[in-house]
Amino acid sequence: MKKLTVMLLVAASAICAQAGSAPEQWNVAARKAFAAERFGIFLHWGLYSNYAQGEWYLQTHKLDEDAYARMMYGFCPSKFDAREWVRVFKKAGAKYVTITARHHEGFSLWPTKVDDGYNIANTPFKRDILGELAIACKEARLQLNFYYSLLDWHRKDYPAGFVTQNVKVRDRKPDYASYKRFMMGQITELIDRYHPGYIWFDGEWDHHFRDDKGELGRTLDWELDDIFDLIHGKHVLVANNSHQASRPKEDIQAFERDLPGENSAGYSESITVMKDRPLEQCDVLQNGIWGYRIGESSFRTPEDVVAMVVRAASKNANLLMNIGPDGSGQLPEQAVAVMDKVGDWFARNGASVYGTSAGGVADGKDVVSTRKGKTLYLHFLNPEKKSITFKPQGKVTSVRNLATGKPVAFEVAADGALTVTVERAAGDGFDAVVEVK
């Protein structure tokens, strides 16, 4: 009898564990929809845009926080036009936009009711930036998402960590319970008012350290599960730029300036690429900076951006490409010009990126691949490289240039190996996408 009870209990708990861990239907569908988007625009915009020296200006210049915060009364981006921004993003081929609702400086781009007044409502501009963007995105069917900083350079109740302790905040009164209540209040507002697809967290690393043995230590328990549960309860996804292995409750694995598995920026050392969730690489359009910097000349070319999108897709990842609007509310001209050309490429070759997954062949430097169903796409990224050979999965019936529709020469060897050779005209350097059916 006793034995039976134990067995029943064991069986029941196994069922419960299963039910608890099985992802809910909305979640599975939302992750899948997100992964299919493949290309998004990241926006870093805040008071720092007025200082025009990048989003870390307060920290890197060791400024007094209260002196910095006075910029709130001078923030009046009179050229801000959400519809015009959305037009540029749509033209670029982007399927979503992720904006800094609140970056490390602590200033909120929406008229939040749960803070001490450090938000857009108290600027001369007054308008609800996130609200206007949400409407414009909805009209254009562009998914809106929010970046949200966990660390804070402004609030007195935030328990300063390794990075933030150097910011001069007067009369700090660290109180994580109070700070967490504030964050949860803001996140509730953000979701209920603007319906984002995901919340993208950043700043957890403010409380990370390496001990003598090189093991990860934490100086604060963020109790992130509570925050993630709140978000999931509203059917919104969670991403976290933690530079650490993903937690079970994180829906999207974030890679900062890094192709999954390559650790190119040094932030993802020993991080396993997750097989069971969507991946997203965020990256900069300007050299090493996210917020607007005056006089910037280091913009990537359209070819660079296309190659990045394609390389990310070939590794099952989305690319979230950043733009830093200026203090007047305009996107830098150079960024608009680059995105316009990227959009021309997408208009012809979008099928080789949207809704695809890793192609599994030619995952090299010069040629990478993506796949949708039985169709394989070969991306010739180096104009010098004209031909590749590989074993296709099934019988090949058609090989053509995706953009022009023109047939592409191919040969099938006796052992079934397929050789595809592209002809490239001068000037179409990054344009050679070959569709293999």
The residue ranges that bind ligand JFZ (CB under 6 A) are: 55-56, 202, 205, 241, 256, 282, 290
**By C-beta, is 151 or 361 nearer to ligand JFZ?**
151
Integer angstrom CA distances of residue 121 from 117, 129, 136, 189, 192? 8, 10, 20, 15, 18
Helices (H), 279-378: 302-313, 333-349
Q: Which pair of tokens denotes residue 92?
A: 């670029």
Whole-angstrom distance, CA of residue 437 vs CA of residue 434:
10
* Least Cβ distance, residue 146 to ligand JFZ (angstroms): 12
Look at residues 242, 243, 214 and name the one whose alpha carbon lies nearest to residue 228: 242
Whole-angstrom distance, CA of residue 48 vs CA of residue 293:
9
* Least Cβ distance, residue 7 to ligand JFZ (angstroms): 50
* Least Cβ distance, residue 61 to ligand JFZ (angstroms): 14
Q: Taking the C-alpha atoms of 209, 225, 263 and 28 in order, what is their torsion angle to the nearest 10 degrees?
A: 180
* Least Cβ distance, residue 209 to ligand JFZ (angstroms): 11
Do 71 and 14 form a contact (C-beta atoms < 8 A)?
A: no
* Least Cβ distance, residue 392 to ligand JFZ (angstroms): 39
> Could you give the 3-state DSSP secondary structure of residue 102?
strand
> Could you give the 3-state DSSP secondary structure of residue 425?
coil
**By C-beta, is 42 or 346 nearer to ligand JFZ?**
42
* Least Cβ distance, residue 243 to ligand JFZ (angstroms): 6
For the chain, report the end-to-end CA distance as a whole number of angstroms.
63
Find tokens 């919340």 and name the residue: 199
* Least Cβ distance, residue 294 to ligand JFZ (angstroms): 17
Sign of CA pseudo-dihedral 151, 153, 155, 158: positive
Q: For the purposes of burial, counting CB atoms within 10 Å of the CB of 382, is it exposed (0-12), middle (13-18) or buried (19 or more)?
A: middle
Residues whose CB falls within 8 Å of the CB of residue 205, separated by 6 or more in sequence, listed in order: 163, 242, 243, 244
* Least Cβ distance, residue 297 to ligand JFZ (angstroms): 20
